[in-house]
């Protein structure tokens, strides 16, 4: 049984009000003018990556598909819209029957992207597509920001395990989404039980300093934890004196002690001292876990330390300084009439200040060099060149209103590892730089 089928209080009966008011007023005006049913194409893209980032990571696709399925106007939602005077009665009648019936294509979850990449393409009538703008952007902007930070931390960790533990540093519902996005980006587990229940992400956790302080002695606390959780548990050793705590931990649990956790101090120095002490005490297989306000730079600085796992909280769930990806949702093509046979015409905003967009229904492909390494993100209109036909990036997610692109979370996680590995080596550098691939327009 898929735990996602169980549902949770973090789910809501309808996502229809995860919108901005102007989406409803546009629908009302379009219904009145007769343009609401014009076939339209919207695309999600970003004009630039966060400063210094080399690539972006698509995350939240699975949540987005759930949101589209749950975009329904029940009596309570319609009553609110009526009482607040948001839209008129004809529009309320139209909303009552709303079901997205169009098509959605997108970069599969876990894939990387670059400025101008058409990350998502939404096709249908203007009215049914425009209503989805805010919910789509809120999911993709949040989850992709977390996944990008997680990916950088995963690269810096170089194979060492990563624990997501940021639930207490963000909104309780955002914490569940953040855990999911972190897992896509390369984290191995989470401390958040709602995320474990909802998405089957492995969960971990043992004790905090409060548990040690509760007891009359550190030895008593360690004994209580080992008696309850077994010798393979992780003991927190920096409540008082680290060296004394390590000695006591091994005396209590024996050389079979699973791990010790260090949460303060000069982590590089302390980790070396603890490793040496553990080895001298015969606990050669006891692992060292470090926490304490880590980000990708702190993780990289610990590359030479004898650390086995990192626990990351605040910096992860805030996107390590970039909590959004600045993705936008723009109309790029529309028909001149509601006739299904009416051809699509490119449309685009023209403005100063770097907010111009390129009209037309686009495809995207990634060109590789002779060694199989990505060398360019190619975005174009019309026919896809034969040499790029098997390198296309957009896949069907929703067809005629039915979700067709749902997949296990591990598939997105594995895809990200593969996509990142196919980028030039400079992609994983933490120093500031330009996007690792140029975006070419065909």
Same fold, 3-131+326-441 and 146-321: no
Which of these CATH numbers, 3.40.50.2300, 3.20.140.10, 3.40.50.300, 3.40.50.80, describes 3-131+326-441? 3.20.140.10
Q: Decide if 102 contacts 42 (C-beta within 8 A).
A: no
Domain ranges of the chain: 3-131+326-441, 146-321
pLDDT number for residue 14? 85
- Residue among 439, 158, 410, 113 at smallest CA distance from 296: 158
Q: Report the alpha-carbon distance of residue 139 to residue 141 in Å, rounded.
A: 6
pLDDT number for residue 353? 65
Q: What is the pLDDT along the chain (442 residues), one digit of tens a residue?
A: 344 454 444 455 689 999 999 999 999 999 999 999 999 999 999 999 998 899 999 999 999 999 999 999 999 999 999 999 999 999 999 999 999 999 999 999 999 999 999 999 999 999 999 999 999 999 999 999 999 999 999 999 999 999 999 999 999 999 999 999 999 999 999 999 999 999 999 999 999 999 999 999 999 999 999 999 999 999 999 999 999 999 999 999 999 999 999 999 999 999 999 999 999 999 999 999 999 999 999 999 999 999 999 999 999 999 999 999 999 999 999 999 999 899 999 999 887 666 778 999 999 999 999 999 999 999 999 999 999 999 999 999 999 999 999 999 999 999 999 999 999 999 999 988 999 999 999 8
Q: Report the alpha-carbon distance of residue 20 to residue 41 in Å, rounded.
A: 19
Which of these CATH numbers, 3.40.190.10, 3.40.190.80, 3.20.20.70, 3.40.50.300, describes 146-321? 3.20.20.70
DSSP state of 94: H
């Amino acid at each position: 049984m898929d735990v996602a089928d169980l549902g949770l209080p973090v789910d809501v009966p309808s996502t229809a009000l995860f919108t901005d008011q102007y989406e409803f007023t546009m629908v009302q005006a379009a219904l009145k003018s007769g343009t609401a049913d014009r076939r339209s194409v919207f695309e999600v893209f970003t004009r630039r990556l966060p400063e210094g980032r080399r690539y972006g990571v698509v995350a939240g696709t699975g949540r987005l598909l759930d949101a589209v399925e749950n975009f329904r106007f029940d009596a309570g939602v319609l009553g609110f819209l009526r009482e607040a005077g948001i839209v008129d009665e004809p529009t309320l009648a139209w909303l009552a029957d709303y079901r997205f019936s169009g098509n959605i294509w997108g970069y599969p979850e876990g894939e990387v992207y670059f400025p101008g990449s058409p990350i998502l393409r939404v096709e249908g009538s203007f009215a049914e597509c425009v209503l989805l703008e805010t919910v789509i952007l809120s999911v993709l902007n949040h989850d992709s920001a977390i996944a990008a930070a997680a990916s950088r931390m995963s690269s810096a960790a170089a194979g060492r395990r990563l624990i997501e533990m940021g639930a207490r540093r963000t909104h309780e519902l955002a914490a569940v989404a953040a855990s999911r996005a972190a897992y896509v980006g390369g984290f191995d587990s989470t401390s958040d039980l709602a995320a474990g229940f909802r998405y089957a992400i492995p969960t971990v956790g043992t004790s905090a300093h409060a548990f040690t302080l509760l007891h009359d002695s550190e030895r008593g606390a360690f004994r209580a934890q080992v008696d309850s959780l077994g010798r393979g548990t992780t003991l927190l050793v920096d409540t008082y004196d680290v060296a004394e705590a390590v000695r006591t931990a091994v005396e209590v649990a024996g050389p079979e002690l699973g791990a010790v956790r260090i949460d303060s101090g000069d982590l590089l120095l302390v980790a070396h001292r603890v490793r040496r002490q553990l080895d001298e005490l015969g606990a050669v297989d006891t692992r060292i876990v470090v926490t304490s306000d880590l980000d990708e730079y702190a993780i990289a600085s610990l590359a030479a330390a004898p650390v086995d796992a990192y626990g990351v909280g605040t910096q992860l769930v805030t996107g390590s300084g970039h909590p959004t990806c600045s993705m936008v949702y723009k109309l790029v093509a529309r028909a001149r009439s509601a006739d299904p046979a009416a051809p699509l015409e490119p449309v685009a905003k023209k403005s100063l200040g770097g907010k111009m967009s390129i009209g037309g229904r686009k495809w995207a492909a990634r060109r590789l060099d002779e060694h199989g390494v990505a060398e360019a993100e190619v975005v174009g209109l019309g026919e896809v060149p034969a040499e790029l036909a098997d390198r296309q990036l957009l896949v069907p997610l929703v067809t005629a209103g039915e979700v067709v692109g749902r997949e296990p979370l591990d598939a997105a996680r594995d895809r990200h590892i593969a996509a990142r590995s196919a980028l030039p080596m400079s992609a994983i550098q933490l120093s500031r730089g330009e996007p690792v691939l140029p975006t070419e327009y065909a």
